[in-house]
Amino acid sequence: MKIINGGVTAAKGFKANGVHCGIRKNKTKRDLSLIVSKTKAAAASVYTTNLVKGAPITVTKKHLSDGYAQAIICNSGNANTCNADGIEVAENMSKITAEALNINPDDVIVASTGVIGQPLDINPIKNGLGALIAGLSENGSADAAEGIMTTDTVKKEVAVEFEIGGKVCKMGGIAKGSGMIHPNMATMLVFITTDVKISPEMLKTALSSDVKNTFNMISIDGDTSTNDMVSVLANGTAENDEIVSTGKDFDEFMKALNTITVTLCRMIAGDGEGATKLLECNVSGADSELNAKTVAKSVICSSLLKAAMFGADANWGRVLCAIGYSGAKVDVTKIDVSFKSSKGTIIVCKNGSGVDFSEEIAKEILLENEIEIIINLNAGDYKASAWGCDLTYDYVKINGDYRT
């Protein structure tokens, strides 16, 4: 398996584009994206568990009830959430997109992201569809990735090439996510495409299984969004034997999917609102998968620890504190903690107690923009990883005037 260029258009049979249609006031920013498969594709999605859900999620769930789709339409700048006419607008988005592409409206995945509680005017989308479709390209992933961004500072896209049953296959993805991220299914918006031939049932199994260890293990600010969605399209143009059950081919598919999702997890976490550092917490030595995940997520969610990482302060007590209130069953007297970056690794806690270490060396390690928090619970063979970012002054600035 190797990383390649191309994002969501790396796989055969996919085109994409992104344009500015007028939803966002800033005319230099794209705000409408489209991804299209040349044929109907197996499709699967996972959604936010927030009781307040964006209208596009309701519509997409209905459209994917048969396990197939052919296009994804997404706008940024307005979440189309908590609006009296939200369902109608989301249905209209799929209808006008389908008519323009000459496909069935039920084969369109609809997504929106942006401000909650403001009506979404369908007219800019109608007016922008012509240019959006005219510009569809096998090299359009970057434009589509830009069109789904809100407070993101960088585009997020990745693709891989791999083999299944002797056939060369490709998979790619784009994502947006910077704030309001503490998912219990996925995160903000992620769209993945592949030319692998796989049944809708097995695609759903793969996605549902993967997000438990990837997107569900991200936290930027502890807020679970109303519009979180991860969608995958698999159009089968690689012509491998269809994956209809578990086995070697399914395992290879899962490896590719996990490579895509972990890469996007790191991109999202590293681009947290106001963030200066990507934090990765790796827990080992747990006596159960649940305890490993609970510890990793608790540490990565700790506002005190996030603030300490911003200040390059090796305050390891905040790590133990987060473990202590996590609810995980651990023996505190067995916990080891280290901090690691490109500048090296430093042990700061052994068997639940502090050890002598150089504050100067620790600070040098923590001044880097990617920090690994290593925790060994010394109680078993289970492990887990979680991703987040530091907490900075700019996070408050960004969210203090988000609407205005």
Q: Which residue has the higher pLDDT, 186 or 146?
A: 146
Residue 392 has pLDDT above 90, yes or no: no
Q: Stretch 244-255: mean pLDDT, rounded?
A: 98
Mean pLDDT of 322-326: 97
pLDDT tens-digit readout, 60-96: 999 999 999 999 999 999 999 999 999 999 999 999 9
Q: Which is more confidently placed, 309 or 27?
A: 309
Counting residues of the chain whose pLDDT is more than 70, the rounded percentage is 96
pLDDT tens-digit readout, 218-234: 876 666 678 889 999 99
Q: What percent of the chain has pLDDT above 90?
A: 84
Q: In sequence order, which residues have a C-beta less than 8 Å from that of residue 137 and are 6 or more positions away?
A: 9, 15, 16, 17, 143
Structural domain boundaries of the chain? Answer: 2-270, 278-400
CATH of 2-270, one of 3.40.35.10, 3.20.20.30, 3.60.70.12, 3.40.50.2300: 3.60.70.12
What average pLDDT is seen over the chain? 93
Contacts of 205 (CB under 8 A, 6+ apart): none
- b/e for 217-253, b at 16 or more Cβ within 10 A? bbbbbeebbbbbbbbbbbbbbbebebbeeeeebbebb
- At 315 the pLDDT is 97
Which pLDDT band holds residue 188 (cuts at 50, 70, 90)?
A: confident
Q: What is the pLDDT of residue 359?
A: 97
- Decide if pLDDT at 400 tops 90: no
Superfamily of domain 278-400: ArgJ beta chain, C-terminal domain (3.10.20.340)
d(CA 148, CA 396): 22
Q: How confident is the model at residue 259 (pLDDT cuts 50, 70, 90)?
A: very high
Of 1-5, 22-26, 49-53, 274-278, the poorest mean pLDDT is in: 49-53
Q: Are 253 and 163 in contact (CB under 8 A)?
A: no
- Across the range 143-150, mean pLDDT stands at 95
Tens digit of each residue's pLDDT (9 = 90 or more) over 126-144: 999 999 999 999 999 999 9
pLDDT of residue 185 exceeding 50: no
Asked whether residue 187 carries a pLDDT value surpassing 50, the answer given is: no
Q: Which DSSP letter does residue 404 get? A: -
Q: Look up residue 156 and give its amino acid.
A: K
Helix extents (H) in 189-327: 200-211, 248-270, 289-301, 303-310, 317-324
Residue 186 has pLDDT above 50, yes or no: no
The pTM of the full predicted model, rounded to 2 decimals, is 0.88
Is pLDDT above 60 for 289? yes
> Would you name the residues annotated as active-site residues?
187
Is 207 in a helix, a strand, or coil? Answer: helix
pLDDT (average), residues 346-354 = 98
41-55, 103-117, 237-251: the lowest-pLDDT one: 41-55
What six digits make up the tokens of 387?
């991703």
